[in-house]
Amino acid sequence: MAVDYYNLDDVLGDEYLLIRAATRAFIEKDIAPVMDSYAQAHEPIPDLMRKLGDIGALGPFIPTEYGGAGLDYMAYGLIMQELEAGDSAIRSAASVQSSLVMFPIYTFGSEEQKRKYLPLLGKGEYIGAFGLTEPNHGSDPAHMETKLLRDGTNKGYILTGTKMWITNAPICDVAVVWAKDEAGKVRGVIVERQDAGFSTPEIANKWSLRASLTGELVFDQVHITEDRLLPGVSSMRGPLSCLNSARYGIAWGAIGAAIDCYRIALQYALERKQFGKAIASFQLQQKKLAEMLTEITKAQLLVWRLGQLRNTNKATPQQISMAKRNNVYMALQVARDARQLLGAMGIVGDYPIMRHMMNLESVITYEGTHDIHLLITGQDITGISAF
């Protein structure tokens, strides 16, 4: 059942529709039948990254010569939408690998770093993590405490500190980590699993993103050689540009979760009978469905235009921020309304609505909280920082 009230498919064109259909087919065949069982068990889907690599969902905007699919940002958005219709954990895995690991290596890395890491990451043979958030610094990463100091021999650096709430940390092969040097400049480095002093304890007992592994990145005097330093950036511009890419993908992905909830709610309303007729015939249920579809349609139009701007390098961080905030909040509200429409059935694993709802409680917080994104918009329109 298509959810395209404003006929956006007519604008997208055949190539984008084929990419979306291929991603949707992967979700329906490989993810949907097993997703609830893995989420209930608090376990990741086995070999997920290689499967995502096989369908071109890892770094799709990275040129083919470096192991990407050579697609544009509209295609990337559509892929993220279909992955999140399966589960936010699936989209998170692809989003982190693409926007937070492959993007900075491609944008700020040396030619040698691109050749070494990007093809392996693009195939899902390497799993990446992104280290920015710290135990004491979430919304204010500029005050990070992780340090990257010269080792005294001019042959490398010593990395110390801790990053927290890191997707894929427990299983990552490489991590792009942001730290401050002696001059207080923010530098990006590539940390490898085998590095002495590097550990990745898992964060357990989550009610959200249960099929995604989350953990810490702990650096106890980790030696970093010069060739692991990202040479192309030495400021907060580095991690913030990564977040812009990730937030763009989230703005699209959240629509997938909302569409999945809406489709199920509509089907259930048409089939479920009370007082001798389908509950879809009652005004209050029609109100819920009409409002869900309206908000989904508005979100679709928002990211479609944002995709055009992103493809021409005209999308501002503030525009991306608005789309991330609006669309995730929209999806969370759609999930809540769908849960109410299904009544008690909305809380059981036979339907994915409660799973989507719990996941979106994380999505509305990570990559910039709902409130922080509001303040980003407020600063942009008034010229006054409220931070």
SS3 150: strand
C-alpha span between 217 and 163 (Å, rounded): 5
Q: How far is CA 168 from CA 217, 228, 325, 330, in A?
A: 10, 20, 23, 26
What does the block give as tokens for 171? 């299983």
Closest by CA position to 338, among listed 296, 309, 368: 296
CA atoms lying within 13 Å on the CB side of residue 369:
10
Q: Collect all residues with Cβ–Cβ distance below 8 Å to 37 and sequence separation of at least 6.
A: none
Q: How far is CA 167 from CA 39, 80, 285, in A?
A: 15, 16, 37
293 in Cβ contact with 337 (< 8 Å): no
Determine whether 367 is an active site residue: yes
C-alpha span between 165 and 301 (Å, rounded): 31
Q: Which of 82, 134, 295, 367 is an active site residue?
A: 367
Tell the residue number behind the tokens 């500190």, with chain if given.
161
Catalytic residues: 367
